A and B are shown apart, each in its own frame.
Chain A
Amino acid sequence: MKPEPRSWGRWPRARHELRALRWRHEPLPLAPEDSPALPAGNGRSYGDVALNDGGILLDARGLDRFIAFDPHRGIVRAEAGVLLAELLELVLPAGWFLPVTPGTRFVTLGGAVANDIHGKNHHHAGSFGHHVTALELLRSDGSRFRLSPDERPKLFRATVGGLGLTGLITWVELALRPLGPAPSAPSAPSAASEARPADSRPELRIETETLPFEGLGAFFDLSRDSDEAWEHTVAWLDLSPGAQERARGLFMRGNHASREEGTGDPSSRSAPGGPRGGEPGAGMADRELLRAAGLLPPRLSVPFVPPVSLVNGVTVALFNRAYRLREGRRRGRRKVPLGPFFHPLDGVRHWNRVYGPGGFVQWQCVLPEGEAREGLAAILRGLRLGGAASFLSVLKVFGEREGVGVLSFARPGVTLAVDLVHRGIETLALLDALDRIVVEAGGAIYPAKDARMAPATFRASFPGWEAMGPHLDPALSSSFWRRVTGSDSAANTGAHERAGAHSGRER
């Protein structure tokens, strides 16, 4: 068995024995003498939360069936391996959308729960776990539990954001968000309880506005002014070489467009209406609907891994400049389909290959509001001094809702995500330094994006982590967990040795 790049960052590599799951009612295919196992979704986590080097991966993608859908109340139940992209095909025709979506729709329900993911609407809707009405957990001893905020709430809280370590999630039940403008109280996820008119024609676009800004102060002002009236907010930050400390970027905000304004334009005509919309058993979205929503599968692909990273100082500068000019020109309000607004990176398959054989690292932190401005400035300075150019950098202010899970990442504060080419020790040492800033500020690093934080950083990020203890499934483990809890001999090595191991693998 050769170590393979399996996570989205393509680093680190790991060896696995894959076991495909296909039936939710069957026990886990594990024998007492087996090495530790880990449930795995669609491999969209960047680092090692979905890796289990030297162990078994329980591939949950084969659990891909829908179980029940109430198109009037917007409650859907599906097996945990269903992709959000697939779920959308079921619920869109009936006028529903995801309550929370990450920047890609190619993640599974199980993965979305296990990382308690967040989207651009955190300040209105919280994170994914806030909308999970129930789920089933299957443990290695064969026991099964129905979990919800009211049923075994402690195990529920350990499982949401639980990184796959409490058992296999077999199915998830989710409260959806109706398409179209937010219901009167935007923060109430129970909008789902409203009955839907049977002839509702879904509005498949987002009304969006892009505003250029320069300086962190300007970003915070825009964010504060937009919080109330805009359901989705996010900023792209230009972190090309030398530009890091200017904190120049584009602030994007969006709301689900309303139908009335949309009459007469092409996408409202191609949306399905009449008998299909809102009817139970109406079936899946057809190509027309998916096209109108901008949710067709990508046509572009990066076909192979180039021998060297195509991402470097020069290309980062070019891309960010082009992006700023292009988006800057689109200033003002316009309507865009759902897909390009929420999942801009899904337009190109395998885009993570452009980073070459060494892979790349994402680093995402959250800083408490009070420390955010100074902390961010220090981080940007650190990136410039470290000579690290980030291809795509994202900044967002989270809302007030604390996460559901013991290990939920999204919490009140400001989050920054950057992508860095993995240059070995240089990169790791820089990120260790940035971690220090985050820990000092009382913030956290996001496990879904991480492959390198030190155990102390993890403990500082998730002070309640020990509450996971009684809920962990003894047959399950992950590379991430062994690393951050120090139960892995390799876990305590410093950046130096980890970098050595990295360049060693490249040979």
Chain B
Amino acid sequence: MKRCLIVGATSAIAEETGRILAREGARLVLAARDRAKLEAVAADLALRGAQVEGVFPFDALDPEGFEALVARADEALGGFDHLLVAHGVLPPPGEVDREVHERLASLRVNAGSVIGLLTAVAPRMKARGTGVIAVIGSVAGDRGRRSNYEYGAAKAAVHAYLEGLRAELAPAGVRVLTIKPGRVDTPMTRDFEKGALWATAPQVARGMVRAMERRQGVVYLPGIWRWIMLVLRVLPESLFRRLPL
């Protein structure tokens, strides 16, 4: 049975992932910042078959709590073998006009807190010599786009960090998985006009659980984004800039 810590467990994508793990009877520790949401998700996952071993508060803007969270989760699960990091914020458009502290806060949530958490987790996993670390990045981290480069910059930082961590932990038997979803219909994207390329949270969750079970390093979800980003990544900036993205 998987023993999994889910950070950002109230995100739509994480919740759907939790439901798949629950069906397998996984043992879970759930962490998120909103107590009421967390309790609602925990009760539901327990009824769906999960053994929920703990629900703990987690605020991405409070790095003091990271080490304690990881320690409590480890204790509750007898050493977790899976970690899923799923929290994030999408800053509003109108990039140039933002206040410095707002911009830095979004970077701290999307990048700083992820790196902070992994700093607490990696040595434990490495010592155990097994496990999977799965972190949700984004296709937005593959190129700097006019509409969301602040978000994209944070995700790019996470991608690079994970690439290095993957190399470091591979010899110890710990797998590091970078998940790059395309566009997903969730509360984060509530105000967007939805079109053909949009995926649902359950769809992305299924792909993520599948990827956790395979020996993959980076996975685009749904798979079509691998090809879209392949093209977009090689496009010279002079052309890329003109795309309506």
Binding site for B on A (CB under 8 A): 20, 22-25, 65-69, 90, 281-284
Q: Which 6 A-B pairs have the closest CB atoms?
A: A283-B49, A65-B44, A66-B47, A25-B36, A66-B44, A284-B48
Contact pick for B190, options A20, A69, A284, CB 8 Å: A20
CB distance B47 to A69 under 8 Å?
A: yes
CB distance B40 to A25 under 8 Å?
A: yes
Say if the beta carbon of B140 comes within 8 Å of chain A: no
CB distance B40 to A24 under 8 Å?
A: yes
Say if the beta carbon of B43 comes within 8 Å of chain A: yes
Contact pick for A65, options B41, B49, B51, B190, CB 8 Å: B41
Say if the beta carbon of B46 comes within 8 Å of chain A: yes
Question: Can you identify 6 A-B contacts, CB atoms within 8 angstroms?
Answer: A23-B40, A65-B40, A67-B43, A67-B47, A283-B25, A284-B23
Does more than half of chain A's interface fall in helix, strand or loop, or is it mixed? loop
CB distance B44 to A22 under 8 Å?
A: no
CB distance A66 to B48 under 8 Å?
A: yes
CB distance A23 to B48 under 8 Å?
A: no
Provide the bound-state CA to CA distance between A68 and B44, in Å: 8
CB distance B36 to A66 under 8 Å?
A: no
| Interface size class of chain B, counting residues whose CB lies under 8 Å from the partner chain | 10 to 19
User: Would you give the shortest CB distance from A289 to chain B, in whole angstroms?
Assistant: 12
Contact pick for B43, options A20, A68, A90, A283, CB 8 Å: A68
- Which residue on B lies nearest to A65, using beta carbons? B44
User: Would you give the shortest CB distance from A55 to chain B, in whole angstroms?
Assistant: 18
- Which residue on A lies nearest to B41, using beta carbons? A65
Residues of B contacting A65 with CB < 8 Å?
40-41, 43-44
Residues of A contacting B132 with CB < 8 Å?
none
- Which residue on B lies nearest to A86, using beta carbons? B48
Q: Which of B23-48 contact A (CB under 8 A)?
A: 23, 25, 36-37, 40-41, 43-44, 46-48
| Given A65-B43, A66-B44, A283 and B187 contact (CB-CB distance below 8 Å) | no
- Which residue on A lies nearest to B190, using beta carbons? A20
User: Would you give the shortest CB distance from B118 to chain A, in whole angstroms?
Assistant: 28
Provide the bound-state CA to CA distance between A447 and B51, in Å: 43
Provide the bound-state CA to CA distance between A90 and B22, in Å: 12
User: Would you give the shortest CB distance from B2 to chain A, in whole angstroms?
Assistant: 14
Say if the beta carbon of B69 comes within 8 Å of chain A: no
Residues of A contacting B44 with CB < 8 Å?
65-67
Residues of A contacting B43 with CB < 8 Å?
65-68
CB distance B49 to A284 under 8 Å?
A: yes
Provide the bound-state CA to CA distance between A281 and B22, in Å: 11
User: Would you give the shortest CB distance from A53 to chain B, in whole angstroms?
Assistant: 21
- Which residue on A lies nearest to B194, using beta carbons? A18
Say if the beta carbon of B12 comes within 8 Å of chain A: yes
User: Would you give the shortest CB distance from A150 to chain B, in whole angstroms?
Assistant: 25
Seed contacts A68-B43, A281-B49; 5 additional CB < 8 Å A-B pairs: A65-B44, A67-B43, A68-B47, A281-B47, A284-B48
